[in-house]
Amino acid sequence: MVRALIAASIVGLICPLMGMFIVLRRLSLIGDSLSHIALSGIAASTIFNGNPIIGSLVASSLAAIIIDRLRSSLKEYADLSIAIIMALGVGISGILMSVSNVNFDLFSFMYGSIATVTKEDITIIIITAIIVLLFINLFFKELVYITFDEESAKLSNIPVKIINIIFMILVAASITMTLRIVGVLLVSSLIAIPVATSLRVAKSFRQSIFYSILFGETSILSGVILSFYMDVAPGAIIVIVSILQLMIVSLYKTKIDKRKIEKVINN
């Protein structure tokens, strides 16, 4: 449980942080795509007695680079790259799990499991988080520029291709370290929903990042704790908490907006 809380607190910081750039680039479904590829990496590493986290990291990183290349070549249909990689991930993982005689807990990878978080996983998660934070700190201005206007960023001599490749690999790494807690089927929710909630109340880009991390931490930590006492998959509880946050914030924002409109009318 202690290991799960440590992992959850780091994941709750990194995923919404990366999620802000992902959502604004209209790549919200990339989490689903890379998580399905990560599942094939998990299956392959299990067959060859390797570390599932390393296997999923390698597989999802390669897929992230391919998605970035496909996005560049299919500009008008950029979302197709995500669909293609998702289909590929489902196909490969299905074949690997069918032909192998290795028995591993598929449910825990699908919906997350507190019990599966190991000390080795914590080490990998911490290293990944440090790399992600360093990258965002060093290239924050460039990432913001690319996110809002990629073409202008290219004209400004910003190394867009290199930054995009590194960013996509780090997205893959963030998704990989989330699998143990949230699971393959629900990982994209931790990337997108806290961001969607923060965009309802934030008044600036930096403020939206702060709120997305706040909502992400709240949902994942409360989800892990509730799943422990309720004896259910943590991923499912985390998603429910995230959705409830979004609903509450949306209702509150709607109420505030109505009051402002009424105040203007009355004046």
Supply the pLDDT for residue 149: 84
> What are the structural domain ranges in the chain?
2-188
* Helix or strand run (H / E) with residue 267: none
Average pLDDT of the chain, as a whole number? 82
Of the CATH numbers 3.30.420.10, 3.20.20.70, 1.10.3720.10, 1.10.3470.10, which one belongs to the domain with range 2-188?
A: 1.10.3470.10
Q: Which residue has the higher pLDDT, 218 or 232?
A: 218
Helix axes 140-148, 160-182, angle to 10 degrees: 100
Mean pLDDT of 51-55: 78
One DSSP character per residue, 68-130 reads: HHHHHH-GGGTHHHHHHHHHHHHHHHHHHHHH------HHHHHH--STT--HHHHHHHHHHHH
pTM score: 0.82
Q: Which residue has the higher pLDDT, 163 or 100?
A: 163
> Is the Cα dihedral 192, 197, 203, 209 positive or negative?
negative
Supply the pLDDT for residue 245: 92
